[in-house]
Amino acid sequence: MAITLLVASSDEHFRELVRDNLLNMQNAKVVAEYPDVSGNLYIRVLQDLERHPEAAMFFDLASDPDGGLKTLERVKQAAPDMYVVASNYAGDGESVLAAVRAGANDYLVQPVKRIEFRDAITRLEHAPRRAAAAGASKLGKVFTFLGAKGGVGTTTLAVNFAGVLAQRKQRTVLLDLDWSANDCAMQLGAAPQYTLHEVGENLTRLDQALFEGFVTRDPLGFFLVGPPDSLDQRAYFSEPMFREFSTFLIEKYDSVVIDAGRSLTDEVTLGALHSSSTIFLVVDQQFPSIRNAQRYLAALVRLGFSQDQLKVLVNRYQKRGSPDYATLEQIQQTLNQKVFYGIPPSPHVLNSINRARPFVADRQSAPELDRAFRTFVDRATGVKKDEAAPAAKAS
């Protein structure tokens, strides 16, 4: 049986020790490491369990035993079915008992000997385990739109996705992380006075009232927060800030929709990808975007994302035969992955951008586009799971 592990330890040597010990074990790997063992760890753990419901955890208590036990307790409350191996230098009964009471299933005394580690893995393998129920948490879902190329429609799809969720009474935040474009505000006709810059400055005292008081509320009902319009303030929002902010968002809102632009190198974007429940990789039918999608998918899989979390969207999808455009079969063959959905082209898209309102705000103008888009949202949120996508049907 394959073993997937999450490792919580602020000590680099401990994390390395786990990795080293796994080297000669087939089918065992670390899928996430948490150097920051603090109160909100359970959020990241829950998100990773959505991707790896079978995962077990190594939890190092050595650097801060009291704080660590509290964090472990919260993690176990959030994920009671996850198997946890706690570890510390102290091997006395009291220490072991405290770890067990916090929810540990097993305990390893440090320094950990190779044979002891192997025995712990054997016990873990034989322990009856129920997979953590995916999607069972009450935390908000993060839907991230990532463009495989510029101009494929990433912003348009993110904006309208947030619009439909808000129309469905989901508490939704649209987060624009495309720092150089800031196009979400443009597409919504908004000129936000407060931006991620202010979010960063106010993180320590951020609560829902403060947040909603200073960010923009779209008439459809979702909140918009994005980069400052001037390009030189980028440095004021770091990846640790994003982590704290995203924790706030997924605790307080049903859905967070992110326009990630197309950067895979920006540290905040990477943080966003890591906090995502679903990543929509947006392509069109032109060969450069398909080729880039191939590179993006490979990189994302290397970063630990599972294929079912990465959904390929073909925007402006047409079942046309032209040497200049890839067919659905070609796309799926090149990407070695099913296309999740195809959004049809419509002149109404540009029209609605020019009017600075999402096309989903006006259901009558382009009913076909509207219907297709809503079916996409249904499938993405699991409303009509079994319905085949128009794009997939076209094959």
Ligand X SMILES: Nc1ncnc2c1ncn2[C@@H]1O[C@H](COP(=O)(O)OP(=O)(O)OP(=O)(O)O)[C@@H](O)[C@H]1O
Q: Which residues bind ligand X (CB under 6 A)?
A: 147, 150-156, 178, 181, 183, 261, 315-316, 343, 345-346, 349-350, 353
CA pair distance 281, 154, nearest whole angstrom: 8
The β-bridge relationship of strands 223-225 and 216-217 is: antiparallel
Instruction: Tell me the Ramachandran region of residue 382: left when phi exceeds 0, alpha when psi lies from -120 to 50, beta otherwise.
Output: left
Q: How many CB atoms lie within 10 A of CB 140?
A: 20
Nearer to ligand X, 178 or 244 (CB): 178
Nearer to ligand X, 278 or 346 (CB): 346
Structure tokens at 233: 């303030």
Nearer to Mg ion, 110 or 315 (CB): 315
Structure tokens at 247: 């924790």
Closest approach of Cβ 262 to ligand X, in Å?
A: 6
Closest approach of Cβ 284 to ligand X, in Å?
A: 8
Q: How many CB atoms lie within 10 A of CB 169?
A: 9
Closest approach of Cβ 224 to Mg ion, in Å?
A: 14
Q: Which does 343 bind (CB under 5 to 8 A by kind): Mg ion, ligand X, none?
A: ligand X
Closest approach of Cβ 260 to ligand X, in Å?
A: 10
Closest approach of Cβ 367 to Mg ion, in Å?
A: 25
Nearer to Mg ion, 181 or 391 (CB): 181
Nearer to ligand X, 156 or 332 (CB): 156
Q: Which does 338 bind (CB under 5 to 8 A by kind): Mg ion, ligand X, none?
A: none
Closest approach of Cβ 185 to Mg ion, in Å?
A: 11
CA pair distance 5, 30, nearest whole angstrom: 5
Closest approach of Cβ 360 to ligand X, in Å?
A: 12
Structure tokens at 20: 């080293």
Supply φ then ψ for residue 333, to 5 degrees.
-70, -45
Nearer to ligand X, 154 or 332 (CB): 154
Q: Which amino acid is at 113?
A: K
Nearer to ligand X, 80 or 150 (CB): 150
Q: Which does 150 bind (CB under 5 to 8 A by kind): Mg ion, ligand X, none?
A: ligand X
Nearer to Mg ion, 18 or 353 (CB): 353
Nearest-CB residue for Mg ion: 155
Nearest to 10 by CA among 91, 68, 79: 68
Asked if 268 and 225 count as a contact pair (C-beta separation under 8 A), the reply is no
Nearer to Mg ion, 154 or 172 (CB): 154
Q: What is the DSSP string of 98-134?
A: HHHHHT-SEEEESSPPHHHHHHHHHHHHHS--PPP-T
Burial class (CB in 10 A: 0-12, 13-18, 19+), 96: middle
Q: Which does 345 bind (CB under 5 to 8 A by kind): ligand X, Mg ion, none?
A: ligand X
Point out which residues bind Mg ion (CB under 5 A): 154-155, 181, 183
Q: Which does 182 bind (CB under 5 to 8 A by kind): ligand X, Mg ion, none?
A: none
Q: What is the DSSP string of 42-105?
A: HHHHHHHHHH-TT-EEEEE-TT-HHHHHHHHHHHHHH-TTS-EEEEES--SHHHHHHHHHHT-S
Closest approach of Cβ 353 to ligand X, in Å?
A: 5
Closest approach of Cβ 184 to Mg ion, in Å?
A: 8
Angle subtended at Cα 307 by Cα 184 and Cα 247, rounded to the nearest 5 degrees: 50
